[in-house]
């Protein structure tokens, strides 16, 4: 019985040795031979494409651009289509509703509260809206700055009184000569919703606003 056990062990060892010999040098584990100094993304990409990393020219990602970043998009070259650099100017086939001009808006935060009056001069560049104006709150007039975005006929707009910690965040629907919707007024310790509605005074900017 002892002789048979020894014979079986020797036979198994012989098979393992033959199998290892048949694998050849590819059975040997090697570490990637990266240069010690820091490499740029372009250098790494060149190393991968040439197959010099780990001595293997059949890397599955050798033709990818995983190691370079486009300055205009912040992503690898294949991540976005060529020429995609500017914001979309139409939504679901609808053109942008013009928001440029001088506007007069009424702000109401509660049925019993006194209304506020907002006079705005708005400019528009593509889907971007920006400008300035005046806010009249119970006789106290403040200069304001404006920034926002048009999405179809929807206008999202921030109005900020200059030198304050207050902000009015508007969500409005644009019409050819009117706009209406809701807003949220925020200040330190205060958050108050309200409604807004108003009309277009002129497509030309009125410097008196």
pLDDT digits (tens, 9 = 90+) for 16-54: 666 555 555 555 555 555 555 555 556 655 665 555 544
DSSP letters, 54-122, are GG-TT-TTTT--TT---TTTSS-TTSS-TT--S----BTTBPPPP--EEEEEEEESSTTSPPEEEEEEE
Closest CA to 157 of 187, 188, 124, 201: 124
Nearest to 45 by CA among 77, 18, 85: 77
Encode pLDDT of 75-119 as tens digits.
Answer: 555 555 555 544 444 444 446 889 999 999 999 998 888 899 999
Whole-angstrom distance, CA of residue 209 vs CA of residue 207: 6
Size of the chain, expressed as the number of residues it contains: 209
The answer to whether position 181 is within a domain reads yes
Q: What percentage of the chain exceeds 70 in pLDDT?
A: 53
179 and 145: one domain? yes
Residue 14, domain member (yes or no): yes
How many structural domains does the chain have?
2
> Which residue range is the domain that position 187 belongs to?
101-202
């Amino acid at each position: 019985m002892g002789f048979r056990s020894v014979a079986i062990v020797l036979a198994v060892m012989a098979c393992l040795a033959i199998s290892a010999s048949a694998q050849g040098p590819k059975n040997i584990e090697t570490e990637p031979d990266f240069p010690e100094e820091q490499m740029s993304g372009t250098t790494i990409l060149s190393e991968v494409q040439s197959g010099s990393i780990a001595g293997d020219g059949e890397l599955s990602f050798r033709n990818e651009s995983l190691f370079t970043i486009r300055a205009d998009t912040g992503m690898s070259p294949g991540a976005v289509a060529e020429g995609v650099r500017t914001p979309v100017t139409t939504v679901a086939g609808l053109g942008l509703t013009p928001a440029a001009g001088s506007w007069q808006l009424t702000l109401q935060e509660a049925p019993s509260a006194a209304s506020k009056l907002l006079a705005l001069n708005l400019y528009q560049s593509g889907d971007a809206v920006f400008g300035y104006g005046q806010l009249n709150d119970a006789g106290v007039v403040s200069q304001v700055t404006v920034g926002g975005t048009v999405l179809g006929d929807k206008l999202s707009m921030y109005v900020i009184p200059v030198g304050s910690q207050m902000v009015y965040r508007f969500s409005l629907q644009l019409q050819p000569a009117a706009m209406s919707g809701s807003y949220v007024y925020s200040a330190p310790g205060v958050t108050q919703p309200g409604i807004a509605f108003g009309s277009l005074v002129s497509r030309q900017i009125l410097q008196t606003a």
